[in-house]
Amino acid sequence: MDLTHASWRKSSYSTQNGSCVEIAHTPSAVAVRDSTDPNGPWLAFTPADWWAFLRQIKHRQPYPP
């Protein structure tokens, strides 16, 4: 997956020192990376898996269900 031109967005919960995660949406995946290491590794999830993960967090349930 080429993320060269991806538009990364920082979490609204980012700390003042900038340590947080960033996400980028592509047509086939949601990529996640460490904001302090933008050239480092990233993880990719299908959109369905990403939204299921977020729902689990919001409802404070373990993932996977």
Domain residue limits, the chain: 9-58
1-60 residue pLDDT tens: 778 788 899 877 776 766 788 999 988 899 999 888 888 899 999 999 999 888 888 887
Peptide bond into 64 cis (omega under 30): yes
Confidence band, pLDDT 50/70/90 cuts, at residue 61:
low
pTM of the model: 0.74
Q: Are 8 and 38 in contact (CB under 8 A)?
A: yes
